[in-house]
Chains A and B, each alone.
Chain A
Amino acid sequence: MGEMEELRKEADNLKDQITEARKVVQDTTLQEAVAGTTLVGRVQLKTRKTLRGHLAKIYAMHWGTDTNCSKLCVSASQDGKLIVWDTLTTNKVNAIPLKSSWVMTCAYAPSGNMVACGGLDNMCSIYNLKGKDGNVKVMRELAAHTGYLSCCRFLNDSEIITSSGDCTCILWDIETGTEKTIFAGHLGDCMSLAVSPDFKMFISGACDFTAKLWDIREATCRQTFSGHESDINAIGFFPNGNAVITGSDDATCKLYDLRADQELITYQDSGIMCGVTSLAASLSGRLLLAGYDDFNVNIWDMLKAERVGVLAGHDNRVSCIGVSSDGMACCTGSWDSFLKIWN
């Protein structure tokens, strides 16, 4: 038997082992466990603010860390601008013109000192918001990916993680502009990433229909989660860091538990037939807000897996969504060029 044949056999055996090991701990289902839990009452959020200013489709938004006096967020549009918004006043704090208008992602550093973006230019550009003369300038251009930049998230002011259409994720040293670690393993474009609440891990969702959990410092892939029947476009952590939520073109979201190493539940409805573009959890994790291609956001009771609300207000696809870090508001961004703040 050739080596390839042996390796194929061993791979199949290991996959069977994993399937078996997951079955062994499946002494119940989440659905059964929450049978006695009352469904969340109808959630009706209202649009409190509309952020107007972009001139083309909005592809991404990210909340800054809350401070007592402001709730800032950054948005990226294919009008070639990054806008930092004061969501309480709807004022534009910064309007940053980009070299490349084909932007697909943006991120706000936890410190509030920087923002980042990237897209079809295959690069992640870092902007310093707190420059001496008050002007916002490009600080670094992180170039190494051989495919589009789909997502980026800061760990701190000196490190950022990016995901790319080249099927890899990279941990960068912003100071030197070089790659610290390349996370390879996905067999399809990486579409989205999220960092764990303790900053030790991150998860990636890809066009190979899987989500992978990575140990940032060990530089290894710890776990792989399957089940989706199409591209995973959106991914996030449950607030306690023990579970992962994914959103896919197969019109469903799924909850995977990291310690049980398996899918716990699927959020689906026969009436929903379009892809999930974005998702965010409420502060306690009880609510899952997911944006869809049909211009709506569906609000799910995360434990009971039933729809408990809808945010209808955009005139085109909802491309991005985020809940502020104090849980006080949800922001949606759309191809209709507007961002809306809801609570």
Chain B
Amino acid sequence: MSCMQSSSNTARARRAVQQLRIEASIERIKVSKASADLMHYCGEQGKYDPLLMGIPASENPFKDKKPCTIL
């Protein structure tokens, strides 16, 4: 680890306190709302999620088309 050294320990400590002040002052929403929004997004977008819904072979550009033999 080669962290950038600051000019002094006090300068670094002052910066750390300043940063903590910024982080302490933010607005927070309730976990219930955060969870509900995530669930809502997954619910709405899930039907368009190919890996979740599965991709029909005919619509899968990655699936190799195998030749059919009619017996």
Contacts and interface: CB of A to CB of B under 8 A. Distances in A.
Contacts of B29: 25, 259-260
A43 B51 contact: yes
Contacts of A219: none
Among B31, B44, B48, B64, the one with the most A-chain Cβ atoms within 10 Å of its Cβ is B31
Contacts of A21: 24, 28
Contact of B39 (A37, A257, A261): A37
A341 B51 CA distance: 12
Interface residues of B, number: 45
B62 A260 contact: no
Contact of A220 (B9, B22, B63): B22
Per DSSP, are chain A's interface residues mostly helix, strand or loop, or mixed?
loop
What class of interface size applies to chain A in its complex with B?
35 or more
Contacts of B48: 283-284, 327
A316 to B, nearest CB: 23
Nearest to A15: B20
Contacts of B4: 146, 166-168, 184
29 contacts: A4-B13, A11-B13, A18-B20, A25-B29, A25-B30, A26-B31, A27-B30, A29-B35, A30-B34, A33-B32, A33-B36, A49-B62, A71-B61, A147-B2, A167-B2, A220-B22, A222-B26, A238-B38, A261-B28, A264-B34, A285-B38, A285-B41, A285-B45, A286-B45, A323-B51, A326-B50, A328-B60, A328-B62, A341-B62
